[in-house]
Structure formats: structure tokens, C-alpha cells
Structure 1
Amino acid sequence: MTSSTPRAVVIYSGGMDSYTVLHRARREGYELHALSFNYGQRHARELDIAKQVCAELGIAHQIVDIRAIHGLIDNSALTDASQALPSGDYAADNLSATVVPNRNMILLSLAIAQAVNIGADRVFYGAHGGDHVLYPDCRPEFVEKMNDVAAIANFSPVTIEAPYLHKGKDEILADGLAMGLDYANTWTCYLGEALACGECGSCRERLAAFARHGLSDPLGYSSQRPEAAASPQPGTDEKTAASQRPGTDAEAIADTNEGRQDV
């Protein structure tokens, strides 16, 4: 990178969406500064993944500990381990418990501050179309208003980029596959256990995206039988292999999500 190389901050959770955003921004030629946040999330394992990926890519990376605010945002199944984590596909009636109050406004505010501090004029984050139904801070209206604020909050205006704002998870995956990305280097599950659960909305949406591409997810799932988790035998259809997971029927998940409309 030269002194004339444009800088950008990427909010990088370690998940599938921000992983793709990180690589997309990198390919666009930005000198990247990745920010990950520990806000007391149950799935803090994603931070270890983010750290590893940035180290391998040589990207400047900070894990910002904001657990001091945990008591302000702990009324969520993602930040309160005593709450049961809901399962099933993304829908307001069954996954509203996973909404963390004001999360993206908090994270974007800190990322904008970092951008101004280092002379960057872009902040990237991984909001996508599939989140519109559940998370208000991933909707186009939110990004538009935050961009208005980011333009006047400092003497140096910052632009918020959400390249997948109108894209679904399968489209994000398609973009990543075209870049040759290995999604074994991501963590999506809302639980931070050794294996992904395969049952939470985040896992199910991810599995559905791989199923639509006729691929098996490279992550291990606790709901897999050993024989189902093994690599397919030569000649075995990848989508068939993915659909053999008990409790995580990837094709059924894909069919269920196919009719979901973003709002």
C-alpha cells in the first residue's frame, strides 16, 4: 500500500457476511482496518475467527472490548445466556428475541470515529436483504439516515457502505465463491460451541444458501450424524449430501426461505 491508497474501516464480526465484505473491499484496493467488537455476545467465538483471518491476510485488526455496556443491551437472547435461543427460520414472530438494541448504530458510530481518526472516508458493514424482516438497523432506511449523520458528525465526512444491502444470503455466497473464498473461515451460529448448532435462524439461513448452490457447508454441525458429516463419496450429489443432515434439511430450509419477502 502507498500513501495514496484509500483507507477504509470494515466492521468485521467473523461471520459469513462481513467476511465477504472484507474481501470485497480488499479487492477494491482499500487499505483496510478491520474492527471487531466484544459486546458480551454468546457467540464470541466469532472474534477468534476474525483475528485469525486478519492475521493470515495481513490486515490491521482491532478487537474492541465494549462489554462495559453489556447491561444496556442484555435484554436479548444473543447477550443473555439465561434466555433460550429460538430456533427456526428468520421471522419476526420467532426470532425477535435475538435483536440486540441499537447494536449497529453503536458499532457504526465507533467505526466512523476510527475512520476519522485514521483518515479513512469509508466504513463497510455487512447488512443484507435477508435481515430486513427482523433487524431495523439493517434496513435501507437506516443506512440512508446513518449516512446523512456520518456526513455531518465530523469535519471529515464518512460514507457508510453496505454492498449487500439489497442482496440475499445466497447472493452473498455466490459473490464469495466467485472470489474463491473458503467459508470454513467463518462463524455464523448464534451459539459459541465447538460445532454450529444447525437449528438457529442464522445457521438455517446459511445452510439454505449453500443448498441453493448445490454445495455442502464446510462447517461442522452438532446435529450431523458422523456419516452425514463425512465428505460425500465420489459421484454423490452435494445437495443430496447437504440434505441428509438430521434436523438441518438444507433443501427444505431453502424451500421455506424461497418464499420469504424482505420488508
Structure 2
Amino acid sequence: MTKDSLIIVSGGMDSITLLYDRKDSIALALSFDYGSNHNSREIPYAQLHCQRLGIRHIVIPLDFMHQYFTSSLLEGAEAIPDGHYADENMKSTVVPFRNGIMLSVAIGIAESNGLKKVLIANHGGDHAIYPDCRPDFISAINKAAMSGTYLNVEVDAPYTNISKTDIARRGVALGIDYSETWSCYKGGAVHCGTCGTCVERKEALHDAGIDDKTEYIS
């Protein structure tokens, strides 16, 4: 298979699954350090898995987002609300247009490296609170990428309409150990177990029938 793809990989469950799912077509992996509470916990897992697969991995600093953007994800662990993603208070974790910014950078790097596809692992569970994870956004930025590049770079988001449980099932079939991924938005020494992304992680692994080896505070 031709290695014609670039992937945005955070080190979380979804992007690590996509990394293994499409490993034969991926030439380059990007992680973005935008100053979130959990970047320092996630990115080493992205590096670990890329190294195992022999995929070149680079980290792009986006310091300006921490300086100028408003989100509880950028304000320290104490700012992160507990609860389920469906709860109204989870909107505080939105980093405005984060995927739009990251995809724009990724598209430019893809074309600079002669790569025709950018992979991103947004999924159906993100739609409720993250506007830049929704199908209409992915469709729009894909059109912009294809119109704005000589290579007609495509944005490929294969998990857009499936659940995190579906992703977990796929990952187990691929042999992924999810204890080697990071989800918690608080970014402490271990997963808190109570923030929205921890709750979603627990539910997905449970519903997929996977033994959850994650260490949680609660």
C-alpha cells in the first residue's frame, strides 16, 4: 500500500486506534502541543506508538492558543468540570476551532511532503459539544483543503459517524492495549475518573467488553 497519508495523533484512544487502523498508509504523524492540561500526558503515548510502528512523528507547538484562547482545557485541572459529555457544563472544555487550526496546519504539512490525505479521529460522541468534530464541519474543511491545495489534499475522518465503543472494539481487534493511551482532561499523574472524557472512556471500554486496565483516582 502506498504511504500517502498524514495523521493527527494526540495519544488518546481514538487517534491511536486510527494510527493502527491505517498504519500501512501513514507516512507522517503530527501531535500538537497547544498548552492543554493533558498534552504532556498524551503526547508521549503518541510518540511511543509511532516509534513502535516505525512512523515518523513530529510535535507542532501552538503556544498562542494557550495564550489567547478561552477554554477550561487551558486553565488547569481545577477548571475541568466533572460529569458526562452530554452535560451542559462540558461546553467549557471546547477549545474554539481547535480542529480547524490543527487541520489547516496538517493540510499544509501534508502538501509540503507530497501526501494526499490527512487523517483525523473525531467520532460520533463528539458531536454534541464540539462543533469542529461534526460531519458538516469535516465536509466543509475537506472541500476547502481540496480547493486550496495543488495536490487536492483530502481530509479523511473515518470515525465521524461511529461511537467510541465501536472504536474500542476495533482497537482490541487490532491488538491495542488502551492502558497505553491517555484521556483525562485534568492531566494528573493518573486518570481522575470523573471528568467527561474519563467517563466516556470507562463507558466505551465497558460497553465493548474490554477489561479496563486504566488507573483511576475514582
TM-score class, shorter-chain normalisation, is: over 0.9
Distance 1:176 1:204 in 2: 18
2:74 alignment partner, SS class: coil
Distance 2:87 2:96 in 1: 15
Task: Give 1:18 deviation, angstroms.
Answer: 0.4
Larger Rg: 1
Alignment of 1:4-153 (within 5 A): 5-26=2-23, 29-44=24-39, 45-73=41-69, 75-81=70-76, 84-91=79-86, 93-153=88-148
The number of residues matched between the two structures is: 217
How far does the alpha carbon of each residue in 1:28-74 deviate from its partner, in whole angstroms, 9 at most, with x for none?
Answer: x314200000000100110111112212221100011111332222x
Q: CA RMSD in A?
A: 1.4
Residues 82 and 205 of structure 1: is their aligned pair in 2 closer, same or farther, counting only changes over 3 Å?
A: closer
Task: Give 1:122 deviation, angstroms.
Answer: 0.5
Q: Which runs of 5+ in 1 are unaligned?
A: 224-263
Distance 2:105 2:199 in 1: 30
- Aligned partner of 1:97: which letter? S
**Percent sequence identity over aligned pairs:** 42
> Which one of the candidate residues 159, 163, 166 is aligned to 2:161?
166
How far does the alpha carbon of each residue in 1:201-222 deviate from its partner, in whole angstroms, 9 at most, with x for none?
Answer: 1010110011112333121111
Distance 2:77 2:17 in 1: 32
**Greater CA deviation, 57-66 or 104-113?**
57-66
> Which one of the candidate residues 190, 195, 198 is aligned to 2:193?
198
1:218 alignment partner, SS class: coil
Paired residues of 1:92 and 1:133 also in contact (CA < 8 A):
no
Considering Cα pairs closer than 8 Å and 6+ residues apart, tell me whether 1 or 2 has the greater RCO.
Answer: 2
Runs of 4+, deviation exceeding 4 Å: none
Structure having the larger proportion of residues in helix: 2
Distance 2:84 2:126 in 1: 11
Q: Which runs of 5+ in 2 are unaligned?
A: none
